[in-house]
Amino acid sequence: MGTGKSRPDFTGELFDKGKLFDKPEPLKGVRVLEVCSVVLGPATCDYLAEFGAEVIKFEGRKGDQMRYVTPYAWFWKGMSPGLEIENHNKYWVGMHVGNPKAKALFLELVKKSDVVVDNLTPGRMAEWGLDYRNLREANPKIVQLHVSGYGSWGPWTGRTSYDAVAQSMGALSSITGFEDRGPIKSGVWIADWITGLMCANAILSALNYRERTGEGQFIDYLQVENVIRLLDWTWLYSFKTGEDRKRSGNRDLAICPSDLFDCLDGRVALAAFSEAEFRGLCEAMGRMDLEETYRDPLKRLRDENARELLDRIAVWARGRRVEEVEALGCRHGFAASRVLEAKDVYHSDHFRERGAIQEYEDPLYGTMVQQCYPPVMSETPGRVKWSCRPLGFDNRYVLGKTLGLPEEEVKRLEDEGVVFRWNPDVPSQCPPPGWDGKSGVNIP
């Protein structure tokens, strides 16, 4: 290796987590205005925020809907965990941008910003005089992304979408589930998260193009279409065969073997498609007869062959411990791993060393341990700096620092109700009980 170092030393040094905060943030200097609620829009901006973008989030009087969406209606220090997960490193302003007085302030901010993201009903921003045409007038270089279920035009524009609607309308749910059982939606709001990720990709493309040319643009992004895009061979298969793609549980219909198997003490996910990997698996099983019959990967994929082979592996795995199968995978070169749960990842040295799980001290909520968005980057790693915030927490900071408004002016706007802070009667809008009134406050 060109560095004269062994691989683990070289990568260990390159990605040294101890230097996380010494390294630059790749999106520093990019200001994003978030006119979003729920998961998809906020997640889009969250991905950018953990890589250094300055995200200013606007909420109406009721606040983001996720302030009230929380498992078992359970709150932690007054905060909704549902709100926490897609909102990090952001600045929080209570201001309804459709209010005529707020609109002027918003357009002033647009002049000093790079990106505007909204996930409102398509056309809502236009009703307020804040669609791309208006934004571009204020700032010709602005990039605006609008995301909704079906987009800004077309026969179904205006129909409401949620994560589970996108999973069902995009046919992800119809292909998820066991063969002889009903469709199952993902255990998480997957269509929100992955659509947000593709939105962030679209924004980064637009920013890269803007670096080259100085030109901004408008992006219309469709959540349901995004789910459709991610369904690999589904559409070509249905087009060619005239058949619906069927549910097949954990069995992969295009890779064999690839499935989840019961063991003595748990379950193991296992795959071995190449001839060499399959040979390794047969060696591990002591079943070289299978290798002879099923060497050819394409032959293995035929339905009756796949079923027989998977049955053989299932019988073998049933008498093994998970750890044993994992170790055989490492030795013989096939893929094998247990199913990880939240607590496994939480306690894993591996993920902490990689910065995939980060621990930090939040001035409002104390010690936090959570995921940081991937990928792991050697020069410009992502980082979690702070958690979600009460409604309107950063009004003064944002209006003071970014627009240069003096404190008395911000106070006047608050008195007029143009900008506002948390309602003390709604705990999940408020700082945690016992907050000292100072911790976490950003000074303009």
Partner 1 sequence: MDDSSIVGLSANREYAKWAHRETNPGEISGKPEALDDILVLDLSHANFAGLFASSLLAEMGAEVIRVEPPGGDLARKMTPYGIMIGDAGMGYIVEGRNKHHVTLDIAKEEGRKLLLGLARKADVLLHTFKPGYLESLGMGYGDLRESNPGLIFTAIHTYGQFGADSEKGSNQPDYDIVDQARGVIMSVTGEPDLDPAVPDACKKPLKQGNWMGWYAGGAWAAFGIQTAMFHRRKTGKGQFIDASPPEGLMAISNYVMQYFHMSGRQMPRAGNYDYAVFPYTYVKCRDGFTFISGFSDPNWSALCEIMNRPDLRERFPSIRERLTPENQPTIQHEIERFTVRYTSDEIQQMITAYGKKPDKKGTVVTGRLETSGDVLQREHWDVRKTFLRVNDPDYGEVLVQNSTFKSMSRTPGRVKWVCRPIGADNETVYRKHLGLDRQQLKELKENGIV
- Residue type, position 51, single letter: F
Comparing C-alpha atoms, which of 166, 233, 221 is closest to residue 196? 221
Interface residue with partner 1, options 22, 214, 240, 433 (CB under 8 A): 240
* CB distance 116 to 87 below 8 Å: no
Of 16-55, which residues contact partner 1 (CB under 8 A)?
24, 26-27, 43, 47, 51
Of 247-286, which residues contact partner 1 (CB under 8 A)?
247-250, 252-255, 258-260, 267, 269-271, 273-274, 277
Smaller CB distance to partner 1: residue 342 or 443? 342
DSSP string, 221-276: EEHHHHHHHTSTTHHHHHHHH--PPPP-TT--TTSSSEEEEEETTEEEEEE--SHH
CB of 163 to partner 1, least distance (A): 9
User: Cα(420)–Cα(94) distance, rounded to whole angstroms?
Assistant: 5
Smaller CB distance to partner 1: residue 151 or 390? 151
Crossing angle between the packed helical segments 303-318 and 275-285, to the nearest 10 degrees: 40
Smaller CB distance to partner 1: residue 238 or 423? 238
Q: Sign of torsion, CA 193 198 200 201? A: positive
Smaller CB distance to partner 1: residue 344 or 407? 344
Interface residue with partner 1, options 22, 100, 214, 243 (CB under 8 A): 243
Of 421-440, which residues contact partner 1 (CB under 8 A)?
none
User: Cα(187)–Cα(177) distance, rounded to whole angstroms?
Assistant: 12
* CB distance 338 to 266 below 8 Å: yes
Smaller CB distance to partner 1: residue 122 or 427? 122
Smaller CB distance to partner 1: residue 258 or 402? 258
User: Cα(79)–Cα(67) distance, rounded to whole angstroms?
Assistant: 7
Smaller CB distance to partner 1: residue 272 or 398? 272
Among 218-226, 284-292, 308-316, 410-418, the segment contacting partner 1 (CB under 8 A): 218-226
Among 64-72, 107-115, 391-399, 401-409, the segment contacting partner 1 (CB under 8 A): 64-72
Of 367-426, which residues contact partner 1 (CB under 8 A)?
368-380
Among 12-20, 403-411, 415-423, 434-442, the segment contacting partner 1 (CB under 8 A): 12-20
Smaller CB distance to partner 1: residue 165 or 290? 165
CB of 429 to partner 1, least distance (A): 16
CB of 227 to partner 1, least distance (A): 9
Smaller CB distance to partner 1: residue 323 or 416? 323
- Using left for φ > 0, alpha for ψ between -120 and 50, and beta otherwise, residue 214 falls in left
CB of 394 to partner 1, least distance (A): 22
CB of 337 to partner 1, least distance (A): 5
* CB distance 199 to 144 below 8 Å: no
Of 286-345, which residues contact partner 1 (CB under 8 A)?
297-303, 329-331, 333-343, 345
Comparing C-alpha atoms, which of 163, 185, 172 is closest to residue 82? 163
Of 219-238, which residues contact partner 1 (CB under 8 A)?
219-222, 225-226, 228-238
Q: Which two tokens stand for residue 140?
A: 């010709």
CB of 408 to partner 1, least distance (A): 38
Total number of residues binding partner 1 (CB under 8 A)? 179
User: Cα(226)–Cα(153) distance, rounded to whole angstroms?
Assistant: 16
Locate tokens 């992502």: which residue?
382
Of 174-213, which residues contact partner 1 (CB under 8 A)?
174-178, 181-190, 193-194, 197-198, 200-202, 204-209, 211-212
How far, CA to CA in Å, does 133 sit from each of 19, 105, 205?
Answer: 43, 17, 20
Smaller CB distance to partner 1: residue 106 or 273? 273
CB of 438 to partner 1, least distance (A): 24
412-427 b/e (C-beta count within 10 Å ≥ 16 → b)? ebbeeebbbbbeeeeb
Strands of the sheet containing 258-263, edge to edge, are 258-263, 266-271, 335-338
> Kind and range of the H or E element at 281?
helix 275-285
CB of 434 to partner 1, least distance (A): 17
Of 112-151, which residues contact partner 1 (CB under 8 A)?
121-124, 126-127, 131-133, 150-151
CB of 412 to partner 1, least distance (A): 33
Q: Is 169 in the site for partner 1 (CB under 8 A)?
A: yes
Cβ neighbours of residue 195 under 8 Å, at least 6 residues apart?
A: 40, 147, 166, 221, 223, 226, 227
